[in-house]
Amino acid sequence: MGKEIPKVYDPKKVENKWYDHWLQKRYFHAEVNPRKKPFTIVIPPPNVTANLHMGHAFNNTIQDILIRYHRKLGYETLWLPGTDHAGIATQSVVERELLKEGKSRYDLGREKFVEKVWEWKEKHGSTIIHQLKMMGASCDWDRERFTLDEGLSNAVQEVFIRLYNKGLIYKGLRIVNWDPASATALADDEVEHKEVQGKLYHIRYKVKDSDEYIVVATTRPETLLGDTAVAIAPDDMEKYHLLGKKIIIPFVNREVELVVDDHVDKEFGSGFVKVTPAHDPNDFEIGQRHQLPMVLMLDKDGKVLHRCLLFKDGEYVEELPIPDYLAGKDRFEAREIIVEKLKEMGQLEKVEPHVHSVGHSYRSKVPIEPYLSVQWFVKMKPLAEKALKVVKEGKIKFHPEGRFEKTYEHWMTHIRDWCISRQLWWGHRIPAWYNEKGEVKVCKEDPSTPDEKWTRDPDVLDTWFSSQLWPFSTLGWPDDTPELKYFYPTDVLVTGPDIIFFWVARMIMAGLEFMHEIPFKHVYFNGIVRDEQGRKMSKSLGNGIDPLDMIEQYSADAVRFTLIMLSSEGQDINLGERSFEIGRNFSNKVWNAFRFLAMNSDQRWDTDFQKYEAHFTFEDRWIVSRFQKAIEGVSQGIENFRVNDALNAIYHFFWDEYCDWYLEMIKRRLYQSNNEIERKTALSVAAYIMKSSMELLHPFIPFITEEIWQNLRSEEEESIVISPWPEVKKSLINEQIEEQMRFVQEAISAIRNLRAEMNVQPAQKINVYYSANAGRSQLIQTNRAHFAALAKVETLSPLPENFDRAEAGVVVVQSTEFFIPLREALDLDKEKERLQKEIKRLEGLEKSCLAKLNNENFLQKAPEKVVQAERNKLANIQENLDKVRRNYEKLFGSKS
């Protein structure tokens, strides 16, 4: 009897085996199937340069749970995978490789450099896809896409041309966020704002033909080279006497006007604000309102130009001189030189510390430079209005609900035009062409003729311009494909809240504009994975945990299980390497439960438990009822995007109820009963629960569940991946049995706890008496075998009339009293000696703690955490001491 099952579960022998099997059987592949409802998720495409990190592991585990669940429900499930070309990041990687050879991209030229990047992508670009497979991701790998695929590139060109023809894309001279390190423009949401300890410089600007001067406060004194005005607030009447006078800009001796503008806060600094339209977005707006000229004083690499460039009415006019000692200097070096020169000139009034927000490039991490540049832009307000409306009306629901809607609304209401051109070579080339006359044509193909040469725009599009189309471009748009009709709109997007504007909002706008339909019905924002100290994991801190290392050490199932178990809806996770022991321990629990059944089963598993229903015992009816509740809990948790709740529902059922109670309760029937039908009934119910629990656990831990399920399946069944999700059988739910079992469990646990508290030896059998009404008495007697097995109870009897309650330990469970005669259960001489020693030990610890806490020197010098820890320690000692003294008094009549 019994099957040979390895004592220790070895995931290395299981995980690759089953994943290869699933791929071979093409269980993850989706087709247009009118007989089924579709369920679609598009993967947030990771950068082609990326390696799997814990954020990816967490995000993709959530997606896989949703997909595997709906696949088992019978949906035609498409989880569409792919990667993003990641313009800046990928170009930077390849440029660094070239630098090792002493070359730059300019040595190769554009065409050869792009070929080089494609070579790198083909060699290294599939790394993260392979790693996602190791996590168990059940994506439809036949449909894997890349944002520079031919089809997706065609969609990008089509979108650009349509928006241009509609007047929603334009080219203009505007202030943009410039990344000097990557030498490209960035969109507003690609800028990370950080609080920086800087300085506020108070500079004296002379008033022309006067000994008078004004004081201007600025955090960036180097930009005074580009000043074209000074502004005051409309309500700052004290300064109105200067209107009409010229202000002299230091170093360049440029004469500028004093203007009045609503943007100025008279309480900031002296109330005078320098206006540098070419190097500050707010100043640019002031310049537009007052028709000010614009002076560009920095080059694209963040260095001071040799000659400033003057623009009027959006057109380049002339060059302006700059002092030789500033030309070519880095912006921060120029700042130091200017400050020193201002001191020498007597025009630096004071410098004071100043904390302010500074924008940094999300890629290179260097401070961005507001920069006057000719770029391509998308008008966002017409697109944003519809995208805001569908969220406010609930057509797209955010999860967790109520946390991100206001943020989304604020951003969409205050949205600015999107700078979409990037000064890179890797990416989607802008489909705009120019002739010698400066005319523009926007089209896919080169419009050149033998008589007229047209040159293509050198810039590429922002990476997010292509990824905004991901939910429909990946399904064949702009062609009207069967896949597009069937799988769009998608059902769920799972992503981090940090890209709600980069990507989520833009996908909604693009979906509504080009598909006239929302791109997804639900957006689930997962939390951030942090280290044990709550810090965001990063390379600079060196606090990241490699998921692949954890898979190697603990298994993919353990990594998946731990990430979900430690999360709650939308909350961040604090994680250490040892956290994954949680997942490994659960896998071992599952395996041991299966092994226990296998060792007690016949060669053929019988999970058709209902044919034995007439022979069900109290515990059979209870566990079957509880399992129906577990199905409900897991199903509702996943449906409501509360995957942590879903996992907890099956985890607590399987560990706490099935393993710790039911399997223990049936051991008597398996080992001691001579009644074969009793034994078969217990094994059939246990096998049914085991197999069906694997179904509920499968979305979370797919590998071990398939391994066990394969041992339990019938001949006609194929794989747990495609087996049906368990259905709740309402007729099997028995609230009365569940309530009665709660009483039995509480009673057994209370007796166990009392035994432990009174130091009754584990193997010592005890007599227990109870005081209960007739119904409870019958319930206790029905389950006396469980009290005997699980609480080592020899006899379980109603309380005699002459029973001496003073000589017994007592616990009360739901108004029923249970008594243990202590003098029967204990060796009193040994117990007296033990209790005396324990009292003496605890009194010594109490004395030591009190001495420390009564020491003023300790209280004053020790950190508050240390003092509080000592107080907690004392409280714990005193609580234990009280318990031991009470036990001594109960047994021996007086305190030690």
pLDDT score of 489: 97
Instruction: Report the range out of 327-331, 341-345, 693-697 with the highest average pLDDT.
Output: 693-697
Question: Is residue 389 a contact partner of residue 403, using CB atoms and an 8 Å limit?
Answer: no
When pLDDT is cut at 50, 70 and 90, the band that residue 706 belongs to is very high
One-letter amino acid of 165:
N
What distance in Å separates the CA atoms of residue 23 and residue 139, rounded to the nearest whole number? 10
Let me know how long the chain is.
Answer: 896
Rg of the chain taking only CA atoms, in angstroms: 37
Tell me how far the alpha carbon of residue 68 is from its chain's centroid.
20
| CATH H-level superfamily of 829-892 | Valyl-tRNA synthetase, C-terminal domain (1.10.287.380)
pLDDT tens-digit profile of 529-568? 998 888 888 777 888 899 999 999 999 999 999 999 999 8
Q: Give residue limits of the domains in the chain.
A: 31-167+383-421+462-526, 191-361, 557-733, 738-826, 829-892
Give 320's strand partners.
Answer: 308
When pLDDT is cut at 50, 70 and 90, the band that residue 802 belongs to is confident
pLDDT tens-digit profile of 477-529? 999 999 999 999 999 999 998 889 889 999 999 999 999 999 999 999 999 99
What distance in Å separates the CA atoms of residue 93 and residue 313, rounded to the nearest whole number? 40
Cβ atoms within 10 A of the Cβ of 871, count? 13
- Average pLDDT score over residue span 20-42: 97
Q: Is 539 annotated as a binding residue?
A: yes
| Cα angle 543-535-188, degrees, rounded to a multiple of 5 | 105
When pLDDT is cut at 50, 70 and 90, the band that residue 835 belongs to is confident
Any residues with CB less than 8 A from the CB of 16 and at least 6 apart, and which? Answer: none
Confidence check: pLDDT of 327 > 80: yes
DSSP assignment, residue 445?
S
Any residues with CB less than 8 A from the CB of 120 and at least 6 apart, and which? Answer: 90, 93, 94, 97
Cβ atoms within 10 A of the Cβ of 587, count? 22
- Average pLDDT score over residue span 167-182: 89
- Would you state the structure tokens that stand for residue 553, as one six-digit string? 């050490």
How far apart, in Å, do the first and last CA atoms of the chain sit?
Answer: 57
pLDDT tens-digit profile of 450-488? 999 999 999 999 999 999 999 999 999 999 999 999 999
State the SS3 of 96-138. HHHHHCCCCHHHHCHHHHHHHHHHHHHHHCCHHHHHHHHCCCC
| Cα angle 276-413-526, degrees, rounded to a multiple of 5 | 105
What distance in Å separates the CA atoms of residue 215 and residue 207, rounded to the nearest whole number? 11
Any residues with CB less than 8 A from the CB of 140 and at least 6 apart, and which? Answer: 28, 29, 30, 78, 79, 80, 81
Q: Which fold has domain 557-733?
A: Isoleucyl-tRNA Synthetase; Domain 1 (1.10.730)
Any residues with CB less than 8 A from the CB of 685 and at least 6 apart, and which? Answer: 609, 612, 616, 620, 623, 624, 666
Any residues with CB less than 8 A from the CB of 60 and at least 6 apart, and which? Answer: 43, 132, 135, 137
774 three-class SS: helix
**Locus of tokens 């005396």:** 836
Instruction: Report the range out of 5-9, 284-288, 743-747, 846-850 with the highest average pLDDT.
Output: 743-747
What distance in Å separates the CA atoms of residue 863 and residue 806, rounded to the nearest whole number? 47
Q: What is the CATH number of domain 31-167+383-421+462-526?
A: 3.40.50.620
Cβ atoms within 10 A of the Cβ of 876, count? 12
Q: Which fold has domain 191-361?
A: Isoleucyl-tRNA Synthetase; domain 2 (3.90.740)
Confidence check: pLDDT of 267 > 80: yes
pLDDT tens-digit profile of 664-673? 999 999 988 8
Confidence check: pLDDT of 827 > 70: no
Nearest to 244 by CA among 270, 207, 206, 272: 207
866 vs 432, residue with greater confidence: 432
82 three-class SS: strand
DSSP assignment, residue 723?
S
- Would you state the structure tokens that stand for residue 647, as one six-digit string? 């996992």
Q: What is the mean pLDDT of the chain?
A: 92
pLDDT tens-digit profile of 70-100? 999 999 999 999 999 998 889 989 988 998 9
pLDDT score of 189: 67
Nearest to 226 by CA among 326, 155, 145: 326
When pLDDT is cut at 50, 70 and 90, the band that residue 1 belongs to is very low
Any residues with CB less than 8 A from the CB of 687 and at least 6 apart, and which? Answer: 597, 601, 605, 606, 607, 609, 712
Percent residues over pLDDT 90 in the chain: 69
Nearest to 596 by CA among 542, 664, 527, 495: 664
DSSP characters over 8-44: S--GGGTHHHHHHHHHHHTTT-----TTS-EEEEE--
